[in-house]
Amino acid sequence: MPNYNITLLILTMTVGISLIFFSCSGEQSDHSEQGVTPSSITIAEAAYRDLSHMFTVSAEVEPYRKVYVASRIAGLVEEVNYEEGDSVRQGNSMARIDTRQQQIELRRAQVALEETRDEYERAEQLYESDAISRAEYLTARRNFEQAETDVDLLELHIEYGNIRAPVDGIVTARYIEIGNNVSENERVFDIAQNDMFVVRPGVSEMNLTGLQVGQPVAVRLDINSDNSIDGRIRRIFPESDGESRLFTVEVELLPDENTPVLRSGYLARVRFISDERREMITVPSEAVVRRNGETYVFVLSDDEDEVTLQGVEVGIQRDGYAEISTGIEAGQKVAAANLEALEDGAPVRVVGTFRRHGFRN
């Protein structure tokens, strides 16, 4: 009897173990038949971004109009009334050239003028009475007119000896001192009109496309880099510079009450937008897959356990992001890595969120 009980116990244990083994084997077989191991992916959210093409160019601030004042006669400088930083009004005497020699010559010419005037008047009377020929009369008249011209020319030279400001403005440079000898048309002063400041950076022909007169731009000064100044494109020069091959784009600065005092020579950095693409729905470029000539993204399910292959229309790609024109909406999540292992309806396991470094967000 005891041997019978032991045999029964051993048989019962053997059957139990067999059932457990076959049960486990059946479960493993069922998992293998039902699906595959989920693919590990990182995800990204479709979001609105600014994909405008922006570029920054540096140039100096300068007055829109700068006038170069030159001496109109040669001579010795005997008086200088202005220097750098002084305000000047149109017509003010900025310097004087010694014109004593011209004044002596003027007095001599005035005497000659009186003599020729008398001769001309006598010749006119004699001609009217037929006492002299017409040729003698015309000679007297030409001598008188020449004497008048000599006087006018000397008076003009004396007037030119007083160098006057041609416009209102600020003296930015003085090139003469008392006692200097200047030649005719020699530059003696620079005057800047500070009612308008501009920046004139050079822009390549590739970046010139898309820029238009009147287009607003943002300008930052190195002395006040935390705040930008409004500006607008005032004109685009029609020809490139012969050496640099760059086109000059003139930007008018539009300061407000918070803008520091602008000075010629400040370094400005102008940010242009040559292709405006604001508020575009975008995904990382890595999230776009191309199959059979079509473009797709893998959209994550609400439970984040599988993906659906979704056809999309892709626009421009810039700064590591692709514009999605149609196909998905902002806020939807897409797979952004390990796309080659995915198919429509594939199970996935989210292991992280895609991060873009080194690009504009």
Helix, strand, coil in percent for the chain, rounding step 5: 25, 40, 30
The pLDDT tens digits for 294-334 are 999 999 999 989 999 999 999 988 888 999 999 999 999 99
State the average pLDDT over residues 352-357.
Answer: 83
Asked if the model's pLDDT at residue 129 lies above 50, the reply is yes
Q: Name the nearest CA neighbour of 264 among 272, 274, 253.
A: 253
**Given this model, what pLDDT does residue 28 score?**
38
Mean pLDDT for the chain overall: 87
CB count in 10 Å sphere of residue 231:
23
Sorting pLDDT into bands at 50, 70 and 90, what band is 35?
low
Q: What Cα–Cα distance (Å) separates residue 246 from each residue in 169, 275, 323?
A: 31, 19, 31
> In the block, which residue shows the tokens 């079509």?
294
State the average pLDDT over residues 174-190.
Answer: 96
Alpha-carbon gap, residue 142 to 262, rounded angstroms: 58
Asked if the model's pLDDT at residue 356 lies above 50, the reply is yes
Asked if the model's pLDDT at residue 33 lies above 90, the reply is no
The pLDDT tens digits for 141-170 are 999 999 999 999 999 999 999 999 999 999
Q: What Cα–Cα distance (Å) separates residue 72 from each residue in 95, 184, 188, 325?
A: 12, 5, 10, 66
Alpha-carbon gap, residue 254 to 268, rounded angstroms: 13
Beta bridge partners of 350: 41
Domains of the chain: 39-51+279-353 (2.40.420.20), 54-63+196-275 (2.40.30.170), 100-159 (1.10.287.470)
Give percent of the chain with pLDDT exceeding 90.
Answer: 69
**Tokens at 132, concatenated:** 């002299």
State the average pLDDT over residues 26-48.
Answer: 69
Asked if the model's pLDDT at residue 138 lies above 70, the reply is yes
Which residue blocks in the chain are alpha helix, DSSP H?
2-34, 100-128, 134-160, 205-208
Sorting pLDDT into bands at 50, 70 and 90, what band is 357?
low
State the average pLDDT over residues 235-261.
Answer: 91
Q: What Cα–Cα distance (Å) separates residue 314 from each residue in 26, 58, 273, 349?
A: 47, 34, 22, 26
Alpha-carbon gap, residue 86 to 57, rounded angstroms: 32
**Which pairing describes strands 224-240 and 216-221: parallel, antiparallel, or unpaired?**
antiparallel
State the average pLDDT over residues 191-201.
Answer: 93
**Tokens at 305, concatenated:** 């356990």
**Given this model, what pLDDT does residue 4 score?**
45
Q: Between 361 and 62, whose confidence is greater? A: 62
What is residue 66's three-state secondary structure?
strand
Asked if the model's pLDDT at residue 192 lies above 80, the reply is yes
